[in-house]
Amino acid sequence: MSKKRKSKKKPASMTDVEWVIMNVVWEHEPCAAGTVQEALVKEYDWAYSTVKTTMDRMVTKAFLSRKTIRNLNLFSSRISRDDAKRGELQRFLGRAFDGALTPMLQFIVDEEELSADEIKQLRNIIKRADRQSE
């Protein structure tokens, strides 16, 4: 039995800042903008207003949902990590390899110094994919 391919639907692109915020939301959801800002303050030193404004925009872009309880806005993800990664991979493949996965893998094998363990992992991934396609 063959495994169905994932949807080719192209999710909206997240900025680098949105990725940082989403990683915190995925770990703490539902959470307030203050929670996100506190989690990031040591590394990024972003003001609360910057984080809150970005999260409000992420609601508009359908990356986050917002639930208001009295004066508190709680944010949750509307896109999974896997969907976000899939979208990022599709955009990268489209820009760098005309949408084709095989040339990207060939480039990695040719241009990167893969360790014996990484090569073994790649072989196992290919074997697993081969079994799934039967």
Summarize pLDDT for 96-109 with one digit per residue, the tens: 999 999 999 999 99
Say whether both 72 and 116 belong to one domain.
no
- What pLDDT does residue 133 have? 86
Give residue-wise pLDDT tens across range 75-91. 999 999 999 999 899 99
Structural domain of residue 50, as residue ranges?
Answer: 16-77
Q: 25 and 68 share a domain? A: yes
Residue 112 lies in a domain: yes
> What's the total number of domains in the chain?
2
22 neighbors 82 (Cβ within 8 angstroms): no
pTM of the complete model beyond 0.85: no
Residue 3 clears pLDDT 50, i.e. is over it: no
Residue 5 lies in a domain: no
Same structural domain, 34 and 69? yes
> Does the pLDDT at position 2 exceed 70?
no
Where helices occur in the chain by DSSP H, the ranges are 16-28, 33-44, 48-60, 81-97, 101-111, 116-133
